[in-house]
Amino acid sequence: MRSIVELQQLFNANLKAQEFQGTPRELYEPFTYMLDLGGKRMRPVLLLHACELFGKDAMLAMPQALAVELFHNFSLIHDDIMDLAPIRRGVPTVHKKFNQTIAILSGDAMLVVAYKYLVQADQALLAGLLNVFNNCAIKVCEGQQLDMNFEKYAELNVADYLNMIELKTATLIAASLQLGAMIAGAGIHDAAHLYNFGKQLGISFQLKDDWLDSFGNTQKVGKQTGGDIIQNKKTFLLVEALNCSDAETKRQLEYWYQPGQFNHEEKVAAVLQLFNKSGISERTQQATNWYFEEALKHLEQLALPSKDKDVLETWARQILDRDY
């Protein structure tokens, strides 16, 4: 069985070998531009790893790994348009590099191409793979809509926020693992536990991202600390703070998060001070660890040798402990 690093290298080599070319070129140029931005490739690599966990070679699931990565990037292109985001991974977003019309249409085309890869599977597996992928795709869309809805909500509870990140972020991680297991012929029991492992891990992953944006090291994270605060984004930290803080702290948070032109450094410093007053860093880390431990419970239930499960747990801990 290949290591996670070896699977990353294998996937990147296969992705680079794909030719996303056609006419009109404006439709396809954003494919290469977006995919060349890099990233962790976490979802396709997990899909390939799940396939090898159950005894099959990763190359058997390579088309579906490509499908998952294309779907993920399609969603990022459209998310950036909706968020009016100018930068992704240090360079202009697709709609800024090209234009909004091209970004929308190219994202649509990327989704269609993802399906072309997905269906390159054994006919006996195809209906099941499509069902998992389609259910995942609609949940990601539901999560994105909830995320946009939340921008207009004056109040939001933690359960609603956790549901949103489960749909928007965790579902695709979970589905990637399930797809890989299905391609390898895993049983329903194992595929379900692997899905739930991915779901809980995905929530933990997003909570860590939320924490890093406010409390991470700017140089290691690779972006300005407090970016979510500056943009008035509703993260776990803010939602938790608004729900657990005293009345005066809540009033001050609402002041800083109202529409208006604040000095960025002053705003970030003030909000972080309020977060610290309410113990939000610790609360977020506790929630992150809780979901991680829930993920491990499902990993333990897999009918696999301990050494194989240990590889996945070690990788997951590296994700949890990351500082970027």
> In the predicted model, what is the mean pLDDT of residues 3-26?
96
Topology agreement, domain 1-186 and domain 187-324: yes
> In the predicted model, what is the mean pLDDT of residues 147-166?
93
What is the CATH code for 1-186? 1.10.600.10
- Say if residue 222's pLDDT is above 60: no
> In the predicted model, what is the mean pLDDT of residues 70-86?
95
Structure token pair of residue 146: 């909830």
Specify the pTM.
0.94
> In the predicted model, what is the mean pLDDT of residues 186-201?
97
Handedness of CA 290, 299, 159, 272 (dihedral sign): positive
What is the CATH code for 187-324? 1.10.600.10
End-to-end CA separation in angstroms for the chain = 28
> In the predicted model, what is the mean pLDDT of residues 224-241?
92
Name the burial class of residue 95, with classes exposed (0-12), middle (13-18) and buried (19+) by CB atoms within 10 angstroms of its CB: buried
- Give me the pLDDT at residue 219, please: 55
**Where do the structural domains in the chain lie, given as residue ranges?**
1-186, 187-324
Share of the chain above pLDDT 70, in %: 98
**Model confidence at 223, in pLDDT bands (50, 70, 90)?**
low
**Residue among 104, 243, 128, 140 at smallest CA distance from 187:** 128
- Say if residue 215's pLDDT is above 80: yes
- Give me the pLDDT at residue 224, please: 63
- Give me the pLDDT at residue 319, please: 84
pLDDT tens-place string over residues 269-323: 999 999 999 999 999 999 999 999 999 999 999 999 999 999 999 999 998 888 7
Residue 91 β-bridge partners: 88
- Say if residue 218's pLDDT is above 80: no
